[in-house]
């Protein structure tokens, strides 16, 4: 059974490369990118071998952070892996214990786990002061890794139960979002305390090392420093924790398999009678209908609500370094950042509808109507947010003299974002959470292509806006002509690039709509 589950996971990993060529290349680029990142981090971790004192502060904190990430991140961004959803095994009559072990083993075979293992190897190197400390490091790091993964499975299973109704999912989506929004500023606030960062880290590390999160990660340090007794106590505690977490996971699993969630869907309770909603409030043309439909989706689908809530809030984070670190320029970027987000976030819009796009194809909807109508909601959103944030940012920074440059940069980024999105959503749709699933539920094996496509969209957007970016930077350096230059170039180029991208996207849609549908059915 364990071997079966691991093979299933391996097959999923292999299938990343069996999609279309563009997607396979995207996945490879993403994986290489992250491999380099992870390898670099592992080397940094290993370099703490040079100083045992520093290692005893940093590594327990890093390990604890790893466990927290393993618990939180799968729920909020990459999603609990649906292939490992215990409910799916309800009909197979697999012994509980085997299933519990097998699902954890299968979770070990995945890109995030492999990355964690590489990082763990770095940790083991850092602790390799004596044979004893190396041995303890190997054992305790492995225990720590298993604890992280088992906790992640357990929390996912508990949450999946909680969010099996759509209403519950929507609520949790919004709550999780608020949490994320609060955590970001809190972390950067602490980071900006400056002052006695070192002392605080040492104190925190001491506390964390005695908390369940830190036992496994602190034990090798104790042994290396000669406090063998303490180290063995922590190691024992870490092992006990793993057993406890595994027991909890087994119990939830047993509940899931013996009494699977109701298969029937719960009614969303919406009833509008014969009201046509937004369809009557926008022009009665194909493009107007597409715009009305997308706006309706923004209101009803939690997957869109996330970006709806996030987009206006993210720029506020730029105020934190301004108030805590006295960085004068960060508020000026609020307008450009919100522009970037609004334009960029549309780059996978078609994938959210999945193959429902067939209706556009059989009705012969033109690329112009499809692309244009789809952008209307994003344009409306930008029309409200961009001027507001440009003005607020300039006012907070007290640099009214830079207003033309900031406005130009914002419009330039907006146009570039629309252009990239219009083209990319036709050419390179990548898998997203399905309609009705938790917005945090990502399809298996999609992390690589997701990262690659998102990076590509970002780079392309910045590239298309680069003339304005350069001028805005020159303006910031104090050049007066560049202030107006960035303003004029930004407005002109933003508009031109946006329209050109829209037209290119429309032509691509006209030519490739059936191929797009085929890709959407595969992803």
Partner 1 sequence: MSDIADLPVPQQRPTGGPAIALRGLGKRFGDLIAVKGIDLDVPRGSFFGLVGPNGAGKTTTLSMVTGLLRPDAGHAFVLGRDVWSDPVATKRLVGVLPDGLKLFDRLTGLQLITYAGLLRGLSRELASERAAELVAALGLTEAQGKLVVDYSAGMTKKVTLASALVHAPRVLVLDEPFEAVDPISAATIRRILTGFVESGGTVVLSSHVMDLVERICTHVAVISDGLVLAAGELDAVRAGRSLEERFVDLVGGSTEVVGLSWLRTSSD
402: nearest Cα among 479, 462, 467: 479
Q: According to the binding rule CB under 8 A, does residue 17 interact with partner 1?
A: no
Stretch that binds partner 1, among 45-53, 282-290, 421-429, 488-496 (CB under 8 A): 282-290
CB hemisphere CA count around 124 (13 angstroms): 20
Q: According to the binding rule CB under 8 A, does residue 50 interact with partner 1?
A: no
Q: According to the binding rule CB under 8 A, does residue 91 interact with partner 1?
A: no
**One of 29, 105, 109, 279 touching partner 1 (CB under 8 A):** 279
**One of 179, 191, 359, 384 touching partner 1 (CB under 8 A):** 359
By CB under 8 A, the count of residues binding partner 1 is 46
Distance in angstroms (rounded) separating the CA atoms of residues 174 and 497: 35
Stretch that binds partner 1, among 67-75, 284-292, 404-412, 468-476 (CB under 8 A): 284-292
Q: According to the binding rule CB under 8 A, does residue 289 interact with partner 1?
A: yes
Question: Minimum Å distance from CB 289 to partner 1?
Answer: 4
**One of 47, 354, 479, 500 touching partner 1 (CB under 8 A):** 354
443-502 residues in contact with partner 1 (CB under 8 A) are none
Residue with tokens 């466990």: 67
Residues 6+ apart with CB under 8 A from 362: none
**One of 36, 285, 387, 481 touching partner 1 (CB under 8 A):** 285
Q: Mask of contacts with partner 1, 236-275, x by CB under 8 A?
A: -----------------------------x-xx-xxxxxx
CB hemisphere CA count around 334 (13 angstroms): 28
Question: Minimum Å distance from CB 282 to partner 1?
Answer: 10
Question: Minimum Å distance from CB 353 to partner 1?
Answer: 7
CB-count burial class (<10 Å; 0-12, 13-18, 19+) for 266? exposed
Q: According to the binding rule CB under 8 A, does residue 518 interact with partner 1?
A: yes
Stretch that binds partner 1, among 19-27, 106-114, 347-355, 461-469 (CB under 8 A): 347-355
Kindly state the DSSP code that residue 109 receives in the 8-state scheme: S
Tokens for 364, please give them: 């012969």
Q: Count other Cβ atoms within 10 Å, centred on residue 523.
A: 20
Residues 6+ apart with CB under 8 A from 182: none
Q: Which is nearer to partner 1, 358 or 473 (CB)?
A: 358
Kindly state the DSSP code that residue 17 receives in the 8-state scheme: G
Cβ pair 235, 221 in contact under 8 A: no
Question: Minimum Å distance from CB 166 to partner 1?
Answer: 9
Distance in angstroms (rounded) separating the CA atoms of residues 246 and 520: 38
Q: Mask of contacts with partner 1, 360-379, x by CB under 8 A?
A: xxxxxxx--x----------
Distance in angstroms (rounded) separating the CA atoms of residues 346 and 349: 5
Q: Mask of contacts with partner 1, 176-195, x by CB under 8 A?
A: --------------------
Kindly state the DSSP code that residue 195 receives in the 8-state scheme: S
Q: Write phi, then psi, for 25 (nearest 5 degrees).
A: -65, -45
Distance in angstroms (rounded) separating the CA atoms of residues 260 and 357: 33
Question: Minimum Å distance from CB 117 to partner 1?
Answer: 35
Stretch that binds partner 1, among 55-63, 124-132, 354-362, 391-399 (CB under 8 A): 354-362
Cβ pair 378, 343 in contact under 8 A: yes
Q: What is the DSSP string of 356-389?
A: GGHHHHHTT--HHHHHHHHHHHHHHHHHHHHHHH
Q: Which is nearer to partner 1, 152 or 438 (CB)?
A: 438
68: nearest Cα among 212, 251, 237, 235: 212
Question: Minimum Å distance from CB 244 to partner 1?
Answer: 40
Stretch that binds partner 1, among 236-244, 283-291, 407-415, 459-467 (CB under 8 A): 283-291
Q: Which is nearer to partner 1, 307 or 330 (CB)?
A: 307
CB-count burial class (<10 Å; 0-12, 13-18, 19+) for 258? exposed
293-312 residues in contact with partner 1 (CB under 8 A) are 293, 296-297, 300-301
Q: Please report, as ranges, the residues that interact with partner 1 according to CB under 8 A.
A: 265, 267-268, 270-277, 279-280, 284-286, 288-290, 292-293, 296-297, 300-301, 353-356, 358-366, 369, 435-436, 514-515, 517-518, 521
């Amino acid at each position: 059974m364990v071997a079966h589950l691991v093979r299933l996971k391996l097959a999923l990993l292999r299938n990343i490369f069996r999609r279309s060529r563009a997607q396979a290349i995207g996945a490879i680029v993403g994986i290489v990118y992250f491999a380099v990142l992870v390898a670099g981090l592992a080397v940094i971790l290993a370099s703490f071998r040079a100083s045992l004192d520093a290692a005893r502060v940093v590594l327990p904190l890093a390990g604890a952070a790893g466990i927290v990430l393993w618990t939180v991140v799968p729920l909020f961004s990459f999603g609990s892996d649906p292939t490992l959803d215990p409910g799916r095994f309800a009909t197979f009559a697999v012994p509980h214990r085997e299933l519990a072990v097998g699902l954890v083993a299968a979770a070990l075979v995945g890109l995030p786990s492999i990355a964690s293992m590489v990082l763990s190897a770095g940790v083991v190197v850092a602790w390799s002061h004596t044979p004893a400390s190396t041995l303890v490091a190997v054992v305790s790091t492995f225990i720590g890794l298993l604890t992280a993964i088992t906790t992640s499975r357990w929390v996912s299973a508990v949450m999946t139960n909680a969010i099996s109704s759509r209403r519950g999912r929507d609520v949790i989506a919004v709550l999780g979002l608020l949490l994320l929004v609060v955590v970001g500023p809190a972390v950067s606030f602490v980071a900006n305390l400056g002052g006695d960062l070192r002392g605080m880290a040492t104190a925190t590390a001491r506390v964390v090392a005695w908390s369940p999160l830190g036992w496994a990660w602190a034990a090798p340090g104790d042994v290396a420093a000669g406090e063998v007794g303490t180290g063995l106590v922590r190691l024992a505690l870490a092992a006990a924790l793993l057993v406890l977490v595994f027991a909890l996971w087994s119990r939830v699993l047993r509940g899931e398999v013996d009494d699977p969630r109701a298969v029937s869907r719960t009614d969303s309770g919406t009833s509008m009678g014969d009201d046509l909603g937004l369809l009557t409030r926008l022009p009665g043309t194909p493009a107007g209908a597409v715009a009305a439909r997308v706006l309706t989706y923004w209101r009803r689908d939690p997957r869109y609500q996330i970006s709806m809530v996030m987009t206006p809030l993210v720029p506020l984070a730029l105020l934190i370094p301004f108030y805590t670190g006295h960085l004068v320029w960060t508020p000026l970027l609020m307008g450009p950042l919100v522009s970037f987000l609004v334009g960029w976030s549309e780059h996978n819009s078609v994938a959210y509808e999945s193959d429902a796009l067939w209706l556009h194809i059989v009705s012969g909807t033109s690329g112009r109507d499809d692309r244009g109508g789809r952008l209307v909601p994003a344009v409306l959103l930008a029309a409200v947010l961009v001027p507001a944030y440009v003005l607020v940012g300039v006012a907070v920074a007290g640099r009214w003299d830079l207003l033309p440059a900031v406005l130009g940069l914002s419009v330039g980024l907006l146009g570039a974002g629309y252009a990239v999105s219009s083209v990319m959503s036709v050419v390179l749709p990548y898998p997203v959470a399905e309609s009705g699933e938790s917005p945090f539920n990502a399809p298996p094996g999609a992390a690589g292509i997701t990262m690659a496509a998102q990076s590509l969209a970002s780079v392309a957007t910045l590239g298309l806006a680069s003339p304005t970016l350069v001028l805005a930077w020159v303006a910031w350096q104090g050049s007066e002509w560049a202030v107006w230059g960035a303003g004029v170039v930004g407005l002109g180029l933003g508009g031109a690039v946006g329209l050109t991208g829209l037209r290119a996207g429309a032509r691509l849609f006209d030519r490739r709509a059936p191929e797009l549908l085929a890709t959407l059915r595969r992803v």
